[in-house]
Structure 1
Amino acid sequence: MKHVCILLLVSFSLLSCVTDRSSDDIDTIGLLSNYDAITLDRPTFEASVTLEDARNIINSGKIYVINDLLFVNEKNEGFHVYDNEDPQNPTALAFIKAPGATDLAIKNNVYYINQAVDLIAVTYDKLDANLVVTKRIRDVFPVKISPDGFIPDVEDGAIIIDYELQN
């Protein structure tokens, strides 16, 4: 009898985990997530990689050093570029704006950036202050997930580049 009671208790507990997801009237993601997706349409997203003037670091991510250059990720925004010839006193050179970017790999003076869902290859010439996107491979990486673990529904062709906490 004791085992039957435990079995019934477990069964009822498991039933409480089952929900009816057949209703299209309820946006469960919107109800559960505390974050709103920041998106760009595909053409704007692809045209968004630019070289800008140096600026202050606000939300730093990973740091990369190659030869005499130092790169500091500004999470989901791009990379700060520093002249690192004097490691005791790096000099800010530029900011590589790449919305959605969080990581960088470098090989043979080509900088590979994960820009949200795409992988891009860029070249950077510090003497001419020139940045060129040499290749883009679309949809290499998964869609960015919100900090609380959700993927919202977005318009077709929209790319999630970041999230902001709802007010």
Structure 2
Amino acid sequence: MATHGDIERTIEIINTRTDDINILLNHWNENQNNDRYRQDFNNHTNDILRIFEQFVDIINRTPDNRYLRLSTHLYHNLEWLLGNIYNMLGDPNDVNDSRHQLRSEIGLLDKTQRMTNMMNILDAYIIRHSPREVILPPPPPSSGGTRKYKKSKKTRKTRKSKKSRKAKKSVK
């Protein structure tokens, strides 16, 4: 999975699998009471999350930044999926919600925790391997103007000699 083509194919797989979960979520409202649908939802999402976990494991064990783009892409897909799950099915931790029983039957809390763990691992990888921006301190405040170019020594000597000549003339 080290070449550019391999990474592109992996991103396509991630996009396809993300769409698969999203399709299942889109049909949730009409099929949530169907046992077969819930079983398919549970199995498909577990299979897809296992694939994502394998990608995350490979990415995390890589000592360099070759998977930086892939990790960023997977992170955003997981974040998007997690947002959709919360929007469609509510917070899995909320036991007072009427949908809690259905959510627990499909193991939604486990799935969201797995997704959050993957996102944390990917986030650490992204931080570890992102190029560092050098933040320079602001320049010190100037008291007047600043010279862009240093004047030559000859100019300064000439100026000094003129000043000293003027001073000598005024003393006389």
Q: Above 0.5 in TM-score?
A: no
TM-score by length of 1: 0.20
The structure with more helix, counted as a fraction of residues: 2
TM-score by length of 2: 0.19
Larger Rg: 2
The structure with more strand, counted as a fraction of residues: 1
Relative contact order higher in (CA < 8 Å, ≥ 6 apart): 2
